[in-house]
Amino acid sequence: MAVTVRLPVTLRQGGADTLTVTEPVGTIAELVDLLGRRLPGFRAQWDDSMLNFAVNDELILHRAGERRLTDDDVVEIVPAISGGAGRAPAYGVPESWSGSAT
Amino acid sequence: MSIDDRVARLLTELPQSAQFPTQGATLFVDLARQRVQQAYTPKRIVESLLAGRGTNMFYLYRLLDASLEPTNSEVPLIFESGVLTGIVPSAARGNATSWSPESGVLMDCNAGDYFPSFLKMNGIDHLVICGRATAWTWLWIGDGRVEFRDATPYLGLDNIDLRDRMAADVGGTWTRDLATASITRAGENLVMSSAIMAGPKACYARGAPGAKRGSLRVKAIVVQGQTHDFDTARPYKPYNKTIAKKLLDTSVVKHALRTMGTPFLYRPSRVLGAMGTKNNQETTWTDRLDAEHITPYRPGVAGCFRCPVNCRPLNHLNDDLADRYGRGDGQEYVTLGKFGPNVGIDQLEPVIRPNNICNDLGLDTASSGSTIAWAMELYQRGIITKKETGGLELVWGDAELVERLLFDLSRREGFGNVLADGTRAVEQGHYPAEALRYRMAVNGLMQSDPHDARILKAFALGLAVATRGMDHLRNLVTLEINARINDDPDFKAKLYGGPVTAEPNRYDTKERAVRVCENLYAVGDAVGMCRFTTKLFNSPSLPGLDEFSGQIANVTGMEINTAALDRIGLNIMGVERLINHRLGVRRSDDTLPERWFEEEVQVGAYKGEKIDCQEFDAMLSRFYAISGLSDEGVPADAWRQELETVLGAPAD
């Protein structure tokens, strides 16, 4: 399994604009969990509701966590047009986003 | 009744002293007689409409004679500063209000930079300008006084030269002790996309304010004076720190606005397939215009008076000092969209140059870009030919052509004279009626933002009901493009005071979000807050009614709770609709361009989306119902009577 993740400027490390994920991630929610552990700065921006995801050039605007991922998918992290709920989100993580990479 | 009589009658009702700490005067400037009369906005009006945009509507409602034409000198042009303008971080804005020469409906445009704040510093909340000057005039304002000066030496100057000349002649420095609201040749020539320039880039843009000013023969208004603190009801600086921290802690400010400016919005729009392209025939465009590619051209950022955000990117294209447009201020996302995908240009430098040209020529980039794109599609379809264009081939992506057209339209030369009539080109006999089918306008105003709203139904409703025509800054439910928020129904319900559906392409409940945004943004304009830093526009955590209420109390001593502020926002929209009703606007005008009802989006996850007529009509009915509007889109009986009682009788 390999998913290519395109990173926005705000999350790039050492000039790399993509990240290849070889761990098994079945959904966007699982990918979020993994990126939170692997990618410095991701968690803070994620908690700020600043990030959207596009899978194979299709932006997902609802039920994003449930979106299934398959081998060779290209996931782009797109800074949200809106975003910015503050450092401590005023709301919890929606159930649809729960999940963890195994 | 003449404008003199209308002003005289109004003055008998207005108090002669400030009604609360920091309230500035309303100056009635009679250009024909070179006379200034002063009064203050009554408390009852402040309680219903607050200040700024809100009280501008009171003055327009009372002074407008709808039997005239918009460029008639008896139709006033009204500038304002908001109740917190110049006092609170990021509140540097003010509106200019009149009857639009282009759209034929309400003209109400907003600008920042330094002019509104310097008005406030001079103790002025409203400038009501009427009467045509006998010769071209400019107004100097200092120490709260207005002087009428000869503008003949400045005629024919565009923004760059005008700013240089005026600063040298008056003796002062822009952003330190001088601020201006000026028009260029485009305004002198009554061009329908002409702006009133409030800085090197900032401008009162929408609805032909430059043309309205040109019709009164006022080349410039220059405000001079030192900045100072305000004598307020209670200390206000500690709470300012809280507001500034809230601004700067917000991620969209930290990671986007302060670093890239608004062009960061381009990428999500094009990936979604909601980027207006080639006059909205298509909805996605190249990644070569993504904000990250602009970085090499961005030497720094600038900002408005006392705003800690500094979201205005500067640009530097080359070191050739002879190239007047090789560097400049901007660009914003709107300009990127209008001079990139909308006219088929796919390289950055040819997109940035028109921004610099428009800043100098004093043109609204949204209306100018849309007008050119409209002409290009008409040419593509053979609806107009070289015969109408004076031999020009209006082909997509021709950057040199676009530049030439901007100069021509600002001077009304050749085909530029057609473009200079903006959305009125059919009415003026330049295009056949068939052309209206491809005009991306509502209520006579071209769309302001580059979004194609066929997917996003809340955006679509907002554009249809905006009181100044097709404009996103009145009510855009921007957070619809945020999956994290869409997928948290409780949080979303809390934001909008009730459930709003998650799916951006559904119609049900979107009216609630539009209503909440419209109220909040109207209050933001009355306060003087920038839209980019107002809650719900770019983020759920930026300052909103809570912060406005708190700081209004500190500054003015008036306790206006959030519910009352929300009602004020609704009232402002209500008065605007009463004005528009007098100007002939009806339910059938609150609609969308034909194309969006008939043509489907061809790309992306929402391929196949368009606006369904019946669903849209039902959504509009629900919007009217929750807004307290009648079936014709004006305040329903009891509320209307309440507003009319507060406002007093209009002139006509």
Distance of CA B267 to the CA centre of its chain: 23
User: Is residue A95, in this structure, part of any structural domain at all?
Assistant: no
The whole domain housing A20 covers: 3-82
Distance from CA of A70 to the nearest CA of B (A): 17
Inform me whether the pLDDT recorded for A83 exceeds 70: no
DSSP symbols for B162-222:
HHHHHHHHHT--BTTTEEEEE--HHHHTT-TTB-EESSSS-EE-TT-HHHHHHHHTEEEEE
Confidence of residue B144 (pLDDT cuts 50, 70, 90): confident
Distance of CA B223 to the CA centre of its chain: 21
Q: Cα(A31)–Cα(A100) distance, rounded to whole angstroms?
A: 8
Q: Cα(B574)–Cα(B552) distance, rounded to whole angstroms?
A: 22
Q: Cα(B460)–Cα(B477) distance, rounded to whole angstroms?
A: 10
Length of chain A: 102
The b/e string for B125-151 (b: 16+ C-beta within 10 A; e otherwise) is bbbbbbbebeebbbbbbbeeebebbeb
B428 within 8 A of B421, measured Cβ to Cβ: yes
CATH class of B259-446: mainly alpha
Nearest CB neighbour to A86, from listed B481, B491, B541: B541
Q: What is the pLDDT of residues B527-576, one digit of tens each?
A: 999 998 999 998 888 999 999 999 999 999 999 999 999 999 999 999 99
Rounding to the nearest 10 degrees, give the CA dihedral for residues A68, A73, A79, A85.
20
Inform me whether the pLDDT recorded for A86 exceeds 80: no
Lowest mean pLDDT among A90-94, B256-260, B434-438, B625-629: A90-94
Q: What is the pLDDT of residues B319-378, one digit of tens each?
A: 999 999 999 998 889 999 999 999 999 999 999 999 999 999 999 999 999 999 999 999
Q: Cα(B585)–Cα(B104) distance, rounded to whole angstroms?
A: 9
Who's near B279: CB < 8 A, 6+ residues apart?
B342, B370, B373, B374, B376, B377, B438, B440
Length of chain B: 652
Neighbours of B237 (CB within 10 A): 10
Inform me whether the pLDDT recorded for A43 exceeds 90: no
Closest chain B CA to residue A75: B271
From chain A, pick out residues whose CB is under 8 angstroms from the CB of B504: 61-62
Give a three-class secondary structure readout of B292-359.
HHHHHHCCCEECCCCCCCCCEEEEECCCCCCCCCCEEECCCHHHHHHHCHHHCCCCCHHHHHHHHHHH
What is the residue whose two structure tokens read 């800074």? A79
CATH 1.10.569.10 domain locations along chain B: 259-446
Cis before B331 (ω within 30): yes
* Single-letter amino acid, residue B324: R
Lowest mean pLDDT among B193-202, B262-271, B399-408, B528-537: B262-271
Of residues B259 and B161, the one with the higher pLDDT is B161
Inform me whether the pLDDT recorded for B635 exceeds 90: yes
Q: What are phi and psi of A100, to 5 degrees?
A: -145, 150
pLDDT value for A92 = 35
Confidence of residue B310 (pLDDT cuts 50, 70, 90): confident
**Mean pLDDT over residues B253-281, rounded?**
87
A13 burial class (0-12, 13-18, 19+ CB within 10 angstroms)? exposed
Does A96 contact B487 at a Cβ distance shorter than 8 Å? Answer: yes
User: Is residue A50, in this structure, part of any structural domain at all?
Assistant: yes
Q: In the sheet that B218-224 helps form, which strands lie side by side, from edge to edge?
A: B145-150, B137-142, B218-224, B178-182, B196-197, B203-204
User: Is residue A89, in this structure, part of any structural domain at all?
Assistant: no
User: Would an 8 Å CB–CB cutoff place B483 in contact with chain A?
Assistant: yes
Inform me whether the pLDDT recorded for B72 exceeds 80: yes
Q: B80 - beta bridge partners?
A: B126
Q: Cα(B72)–Cα(B212) distance, rounded to whole angstroms?
A: 9
Q: Cα(A30)–Cα(A99) distance, rounded to whole angstroms?
A: 5
pLDDT value for A90 = 33
pLDDT value for B388 = 95
Q: Cα(B641)–Cα(A55) distance, rounded to whole angstroms?
A: 53
**Mean pLDDT over residues B517-524, rounded?**
98
The DSSP H or E segment spanning B15 is none
Smallest Cα–Cα separation from B132: which of B69, B81, B80, B90? B69
pLDDT value for B652 = 65
pLDDT value for B221 = 98
- Decide if domain B3-224 falls under CATH 3.60.9.10: yes
B429 burial class (0-12, 13-18, 19+ CB within 10 angstroms)? exposed
Q: Cα(B589)–Cα(B454) distance, rounded to whole angstroms?
A: 18
Does A57 contact B604 at a Cβ distance shorter than 8 Å? Answer: yes
From chain B, pick out residues whose CB is under 8 angstroms from the CB of A83: 251-252, 256, 482, 538-539
Distance from CA of B450 to the nearest CA of A (A): 13
Q: What are phi and psi of B496, to 5 degrees?
A: -110, 10
Nearest CB neighbour to B539, from listed A9, A45, A84: A84
Count structural domains, chain A. 1
pLDDT value for A102 = 27
Confidence of residue B437 (pLDDT cuts 50, 70, 90): very high
**Mean pLDDT over residues A31-56, rounded?**
88
User: Would an 8 Å CB–CB cutoff place B484 in contact with chain A?
Assistant: yes
Q: Strand B94-99 relative to strand B218-224: parallel, antiparallel, unpaired?
A: unpaired
Closest chain B CA to residue A44: B251
Distances (CA, A) of B509 to B526, B573, B598, B613, B623: 27, 20, 23, 17, 9
B110 within 8 A of B54, measured Cβ to Cβ: no
From chain A, pick out residues whose CB is under 8 angstroms from the CB of B260: 9
A-B contacts (CB, under 8 Å): 137
Nearest CB neighbour to B604, from listed A58, A82, A84: A58
Average pLDDT, chain B: 96
**Mean pLDDT over residues B78-102, rounded?**
97
Inform me whether the pLDDT recorded for B428 exceeds 50: yes
Confidence of residue B228 (pLDDT cuts 50, 70, 90): confident
Q: Cα(B248)–Cα(B240) distance, rounded to whole angstroms?
A: 12
Q: In the sheet that B301-302 helps form, which strands lie side by side, from edge to edge?
A: B301-302, B312-316, B327-329
User: Would an 8 Å CB–CB cutoff place B540 in contact with chain A?
Assistant: yes
pLDDT value for A100 = 34
Tokens representing B242 are: 């809280």
Inform me whether the pLDDT recorded for B467 exceeds 90: yes
Nearest CB neighbour to A82, from listed B478, B488, B489: B478
The b/e string for B279-308 (b: 16+ C-beta within 10 A; e otherwise) is bbbbbbbbeebbbbebeebbeebbbbbbbe
**Mean pLDDT over residues B106-134, rounded?**
96
CATH 1.10.599.10 domain locations along chain B: 457-647
CATH 3.60.9.10 domain locations along chain B: 3-224
Could you tell me the sign of the dihedral formed by the alpha carbons of B24, B30, B31, B36, in that order? negative
Confidence of residue A93 (pLDDT cuts 50, 70, 90): very low
Who's near A14: CB < 8 A, 6+ residues apart?
none
Predicted ipTM beyond 0.90 = no
Distances (CA, A) of B411 to B200, B201, B350: 20, 20, 21
pLDDT value for A82 = 55
User: Would an 8 Å CB–CB cutoff place B256 in contact with chain A?
Assistant: yes
**Mean pLDDT over residues B113-132, rounded?**
96
Does B481 contact A82 at a Cβ distance shorter than 8 Å? Answer: yes
Give the 3-state secondary structure of residue B124.
strand
CATH class of B457-647: mainly alpha
Confidence of residue A44 (pLDDT cuts 50, 70, 90): confident
From chain A, pick out residues whose CB is under 8 angstroms from the CB of B491: 90-91
Looking at chain B, the whole-number percentage of residues with pLDDT higher than 70 is 100
Q: Which of residues 39-78 of A touch B (CB under 8 A)?
A: 44-46, 48-54, 57-65, 76, 78
DSSP symbols for B589-633:
GS---HHHHH----SSTTTT----HHHHHHHHHHHHHHHTB-TTS
Distances (CA, A) of B70 to B76, B102, B130, B556: 9, 9, 12, 35
What angle do the packed helices B510-527 and B613-627 form, to 10 degrees? 50
Does B491 contact A64 at a Cβ distance shorter than 8 Å? Answer: no
User: Would an 8 Å CB–CB cutoff place B491 in contact with chain A?
Assistant: yes
Inform me whether the pLDDT recorded for B132 exceeds 70: yes
